[in-house]
Amino acid sequence: MVKEIERSGIPVVHIATVVPISLTVGANRIVPAIGIPYPLGNPNLEFKAEKKLRRGLVEKALKALQTEVDGQTVFE
């Protein structure tokens, strides 16, 4: 789906835990997520800390959208 969005002309970033799959299927901007059942969260943290974590990941994703890439790039 990520490739189709990009193909249609909209810049896209993929936040995913299983980065190798994202790479294999061809996403160009990839941000590693936390865990499969909670990509943008962590139930072991208390709420404020978790929200901060989530914010940080989305900020990284937005940063990825603002970064030129010439091929597949993982933004650690």
Q: In the complex, what is the shortest distance from the CB of residue 52 to other proteins, in angstroms, rounded to a whole number?
A: 9
Q: Give me the residues that bind other proteins (CB under 8 A), please.
A: 1-22, 24-29, 32-41, 43, 50-51, 54-55, 57-59, 61-62, 65-72
Q: In the complex, what is the shortest distance from the CB of residue 29 to other proteins, in angstroms, rounded to a whole number?
A: 7
CA 67 – CA 76 distance, rounded (Å) = 13
CA 35 – CA 7 distance, rounded (Å) = 28
Q: In the complex, what is the shortest distance from the CB of residue 25 to other proteins, in angstroms, rounded to a whole number?
A: 5
Local structure of 30: helix, strand or coil: strand
